[in-house]
Amino acid sequence: MGLLQRDRPTGDEGDEVQQVMDTQKEALRRIISTLSNKNEELQNFLETVDSTLTGLQEESCKVMSELEAELQLLSSALDDKGAELRGIIKEETQRKEAELQTQLLEGKFALLSCEELLEFANQTLTITNEEEFLKAAKQIKERVTMAPAFRLTTRPVVSENMSQFTVDFSTEKAGLQRLHFLPVPRAPEVDVSRCIVRDNTIMVAWRPAGEDDSDGDISVSGPIERYDLEYRKTNQEGSLRAPGEACWEKICDIRETQVSVSDLKFDSCFVVVRVRARNKTAAGDFSEPVALETRAYNFGFDAATAHAELKVQGDTVTWEPQGVKGHDPRLRGKENKSSSRSATPSPNKTAGSRAGRDRFTGESYTVLGDQEITGGTYYWELRPLVDWKSISVGVAYRASLGRFDQLGKSAGSWCLHASQWLQSSLAAKHNNRAKALDWPLPQRIGIYCDYDNGDLSFIDVDRLRLLHSFKTKFSQPLVPAFTVWCGGITIMTGLQVPSFMGNFLSTNRSLSNLSQ
What is the per-residue pLDDT for 274? Answer: 96
| φ and ψ at residue 291, rounded to 5 degrees | -95, 120
What is the per-residue pLDDT for 135? Answer: 87
What is the per-residue pLDDT for 341? Answer: 36
Output helix, strand, coil percentages for the chain, rounded to the nearest 5: 35, 25, 40
Convert 365-374 to b/e letters by CB count within 10 Å (16 or more is b): bbbbbebebe
Question: Whole-angstrom Cα distance, residue 158 to residue 102?
Answer: 11
Question: Whole-angstrom Cα distance, residue 187 to residue 193?
Answer: 18
In total, the chain counts a number of residues equal to 516
Question: Whole-angstrom Cα distance, residue 358 to residue 167?
Answer: 91
What is the per-residue pLDDT for 177? Answer: 87
What is the per-residue pLDDT for 147? Answer: 75
Reduced to 3 states (helix: H, G, I; strand: E, B; else coil), residue 33 is: helix
What is the per-residue pLDDT for 153? Answer: 77
Interaxial angle between packed helices 130-146 and 11-124, expressed in degrees from 0 to 180 and rounded to the nearest 10: 160
Query: Which domains does the chain possess?
Result: 20-179 (no CATH), 189-293 (2.60.40.10), 303-333+353-507 (2.60.120.920)
Express each pLDDT in 9-33 by its tens digit: 566 777 788 888 888 888 889 999 9
- Over its C-alpha atoms, the chain yields an Rg (Å, rounded) of 48
Question: Whole-angstrom Cα distance, residue 443 to residue 36?
Answer: 68
Give me the half-sphere count of Cα atoms (radius 13 Å) on the Cβ side of residue 139: 13
**Cα→Cα distances 456→242, 446, 478, 509, Å:** 37, 11, 11, 12
Other CB atoms within 10 A of residue 291 CB: 16
Of the candidates 274, 280, 272, which has an alpha carbon nearest to the alpha carbon of residue 63? 280
User: Which 8-state DSSP code applies to residue 146?
Assistant: H
Three-state SS for 438-452 is CCCCCCCEEEEEECC
Helix (H) or strand (E) holding 3: helix 2-7
Express each pLDDT in 50-105 by its tens digit: 999 999 999 899 889 988 998 999 899 999 999 999 999 999 999 999 999 998 89
Three-state SS for 154-205 is CCCCCCCCCHHHCCCCHHHHHHHHCCCCCCCCCCCEECHHHCEEECCEEEEE
CB 143 within 8 A of CB 117: yes
What is the per-residue pLDDT for 296? Answer: 93
What is the per-residue pLDDT for 18? Answer: 84
Give every residue of the chain whose pLDDT is below 70, as ranges: 1-11, 211-222, 238-244, 323-357, 507-516
Residue type at 366 in one-letter notation: T
Reduced to 3 states (helix: H, G, I; strand: E, B; else coil), residue 466 is: strand
Of the candidates 466, 451, 401, which has an alpha carbon nearest to the alpha carbon of residue 430? 401
Question: Whole-angstrom Cα distance, residue 377 to residue 457?
Answer: 11
